[in-house]
Amino acid sequence: MSDALETFCHAMPKVDLHVHLLGAVRQATFAEMAARCGMTAAETEALYARDAKPKGVLHVLRTLEQRVLRQSGDLHRIAYEHLQDAAAHGVRHSEIFWNPTGTEHIFPYAKGADAILAGFADAATDFGVSALLIPSIDREATPEDATQLAEWMLAHRRDPIIGMGIDYRETDRPPELFWKAWRLAKQGGFRLTAHAGEFGCHPRNVETALDLLEVDRIDHGYTVLEDPALAARCAERGVLFTVVPTNSYYLRTLPPERWAEDHPIRRMPAAGLLIHPNTDDPPLHQVTPTRCWRMMVEDFGFGLADLRGFMLNGVRGSFLPEPARRHIEAAFAEEFDALAAECFPQGVLS
Ligand SMILES: [Zn+2]
């Protein structure tokens, strides 16, 4: 099964809706950029090391913002290389988070955004992969910083800048703190998504993001299971949860022998929730899109029909404009079925 599963997960058409630009830097590229500011190869290796109980990646992202990045061209390179790597694993479309607040001291929003979009355009030409950018609120910064981000987005509109997100550490930084930024972005026609219910945080954050801030989808969202009534409402509304199999919080807090059994990802579809697996910070999580999808089978026990459903959840919940989204949905379904017949002629993953 493992060879066929590898072939299948590698080749199946995929979107990635939850990946952070600064979490997607290749280790070799990080080392090269870090050398400019005097960091040693050993320091880079230590940052990229991931043990059985990973301590998370936020400190690496801060190192990039505060020490390593020097010019907007760095963002072009990171975006281009990430999309090259993703396309090599069958990713056809990616939606990528970027925190402009953390790099404003190096280059202004417009310059950074244009560099990333140039990277997207070059990757589309060279690798046939499409990408959309989601500038994201740094929730460890102030609400005023978030409002400023929304104002930058409104002042510098570009078609591939599709929506606004929020990330960094959720603990004690609930989404409503940033209501003004959300309102400005929504009034400006941007799509909205929010990291909520990560780090074991209260499911209220998922509820607030959906009901008060009116986000279109939820990133992570695992603790929604702690509030069955809320979970039922999310299922009824068809809210998409972009989940991350390699999420460090559960690797750190669940006992290794119970991790796969007790992980909320395993239980979310049974509660009627729409999920889609994503890579988050691929080199830092030591994951590829292929492995991300393999984990859904090997760790969480999902079958072929589940994978097909997750794939379609992702396309339907993407921020791609119509009719491109509908076209991709039909093409993905057809390609998935042909590939499944080839890899698994019995119709099951065995
Ligand atoms: Zn994330």
Three-state DSSP string of 233-245: HHHHHCCEEEECC
Give dist(CA 97, CA 137) in Å, integer.
9
Percent of the chain residues past pLDDT 70, beyond the cut: 99
Average pLDDT over residues 196-205: 95
Determine the Cα angle at 329 with ends 304 and 343, to 5°. 30
Structural contact between residues 20 and 281, judged by C-beta atoms closer than 8 angstroms: yes
Question: What's the rounded mean pLDDT across residues 255-274?
Answer: 96
d(CA 56, CA 316): 30
Q: What value does the mean pLDDT take over residues 47-64?
A: 85
Cα of 68 to ligand 1 centre, how many Å? 21
For residue 14, list its beta bridge partners: 91
Where residue 347 falls among pLDDT bands split at 50, 70, 90?
Answer: confident
pLDDT at 31: 94
* Phi, psi values for residue 164, rounded to 5°: -125, 145
* CA of 5 relative to ligand 1 center, distance in Å: 26
Radius of gyration (C-alpha) of the chain in whole angstroms? 19
How many other β-carbons are positioned within 10 Å of the β-carbon of residue 346? 7
**Residue range 319-344: mean pLDDT, rounded:** 96
Q: Is cis: bond before 256, omega within 30 of 0?
A: no
pLDDT value for 51: 81
User: Given pLDDT bands bounded at 50, 70 and 90, which one contains residue 217?
Assistant: very high
In degrees to the nearest 10, what's the CA dihedral of 114, 140, 286, 199? Answer: -140
Amino acid at 72: S
How far, in Å, from the CA of 122 to the mean position of ligand 1?
25
Count the neighbouring beta carbons within 10 Å of the beta carbon of residue 275: 25
Give the residue numbers annotated as catalytic, written as ranges.
198
Query: What CATH code would you report for 2-343?
Result: 3.20.20.140
CA of 236 to the centre of ligand 1 (A): 24
Residues 82-95: what's their mean pLDDT? 98
Residue 266 neighbours by CB under 8 Å, 6+ apart: 260, 300, 301
142 contacts: CB under 8 Å, gap ≥ 6: none
221 phi, psi to nearest 5 deg = 80, 15
- Structure confidence at residue 350 as a pLDDT band (50, 70, 90): low
**Residue 68 DSSP class:** I
User: Which pLDDT value is given to residue 348?
Assistant: 85
Distance CA 287, CA 254 (A): 20
Residue-level pLDDT at 341:
96
Phi (first) and psi of residue 220, to 5 degrees: 70, -100
**pLDDT for residue 349 is more than 90:** no
